[in-house]
Chain A
Amino acid sequence: MCDACGCQTHTHDHDHGHGHSQTHDDSVIVEINRSLFAANDAMARSNREHFDEERIVVLNLISSPGSGKTTLLEHTIDRIGSEIKIGVIEGDIETERDAERIRAKGVPAIQLTTGGACHLDASMIHRGFHQLQKEPGGNSIDLLVIENVGNLVCPATFDLGEHTRVVLVSVPEGPDKPAKYPKAFTSSQLFLITKTDLLPYFDFEVAEARKEALSLNPSLQVMDFSATTGEGFEVWLDYLRELVREEKGK
């Protein structure tokens, strides 16, 4: 499967450990008990091993459309792009626009257009990662950020092989997202509340959103900031610095 990098091929082994039983009319019942996510999960594990071998920290950003994922990336690159080598995989349904915004910052980025699919999966990331490595600068990154398709439902179901899953909610969206889309919050490690410069104009209590999210997932880390004013942004940057440091020390 993967001549490009020589990483192990990802075969699916079906052991014949399942039981059979005969029914009255000659039909056979076979017990399978196999997850339909198993193929994706196996590919995700192999991606993660691959990233670890190359000492690259990988984040998977998930949110509704327009929560500020690309803007967050642009400002992050401006602030620490000279310290940490960043690479980006953009998932979008149709356009190249987000990848172009990132490339304009001088950072390697590729766009996976999913052709209508509503989420990225581990095999897309596998291909995308090799494609990224062929871009100028793509072969020496410390931090890979995957911007998932804007949607809080199915991206939460597909492990991509990331180290940290980050869920974003912007102030104009309201604080009830955790209650409505619990899986995005229970499967993430970090919750970012974005566009806090807009708090004066919206009925959004940061404390309430934080509490809702923590009641679903007590180990979730929560940060709030505005990318445009830079308020609260330093905490996020320090978080990234620490992640990269940890991965290098593994």
Chain B
Amino acid sequence: MHEMSLVQGLLQQLRELASEHNTSRILKVTMVIGPLSGVVVDSFKFGFEVLTRQDELVQDAELEIVIPEVGYRCSACQNLQKTAGERPHQCAACGDTLLIAEEGNDLILQQVEME
């Protein structure tokens, strides 16, 4: 729902980076979108496509999206279980059911390729 405003924030950062590096063309942008970040990947892609259209700096930029695994920490034995799929029902090490998600919350601009 709010992906458009997030993409606007991204473009703002890209403009700052471009002027800092004296470039007028960005070729590729790599984003890490955590599965628990609340960001809908398709909406983010759509927002990127729409908002980059009229902006020469990013017009031809490719968007690469990396989806990291989520880490679940067992509250009993501290074992960390990483998965790209469903939330595990119990700890693989001790069987406890209280698992706390530790990673996968963030939306990160990882890498920019520019001319």
Contact = CB atoms under 8 A, between A and B. Distances in A.
Same complex origin of A and B: yes
Interface of A: 14, 16, 23, 26-37, 39, 117-119, 151, 153-154, 156-157, 182-183, 186, 214-215, 217-218
Given A182-B36, A215-B98, A36 B6 contact: yes
Interface string B92-105: 00000110110001
Secondary structure dominating the interface of A: mixed
B96 to A, nearest CB: 10
Contacts of A214: 98
Contacts of A39: 9
A32 B75 CA distance: 33
A183 B36 contact: yes
A14 B10 CA distance: 14
A118 B17 CA distance: 29
B110 interface: yes
B51 to A, nearest CB: 14
A151 to B, nearest CB: 7
B100 A217 contact: yes
A27 B114 contact: yes
B8 to A, nearest CB: 10
User: Interface of chain B, helix or strand or loop or mixed?
Assistant: mixed
A34 B17 CA distance: 12
State which size class the interface on B falls in. 20 to 34
Contact of A117 (B2, B23, B109): B2
Nearest to A187: B105
Contact of B110 (A32, A37, A186): A32
Given A36-B10, A36-B108, A218-B100, A23 B2 contact: no
Contacts of B16: 14
A157 B38 contact: yes
Given A27-B115, A29-B112, 19 more contacts: A14-B16, A26-B115, A27-B113, A28-B114, A28-B115, A30-B113, A32-B17, A32-B109, A33-B109, A33-B111, A34-B108, A36-B6, A36-B9, A36-B13, A36-B108, A37-B107, A153-B1, A153-B38, A183-B36
B114 A218 contact: no
A31 B30 CA distance: 9
Given A28-B21, A153-B1, A35 B98 contact: no
B5 interface: yes
The 4 closest A-B pairs by CB, nearest first: A157-B38, A118-B1, A36-B107, A218-B98
Contacts of B13: 32, 34, 36
A27 B38 contact: no
A156 B39 CA distance: 11
B1 A151 contact: yes
Contact of A119 (B2, B87, B106): B2
Given A153-B38, A182-B87, A35 B108 contact: yes
A199 B13 CA distance: 50
A129 B84 CA distance: 40
B27 interface: yes
Interface string B52-75: 000000000000000000000001
B37 interface: yes
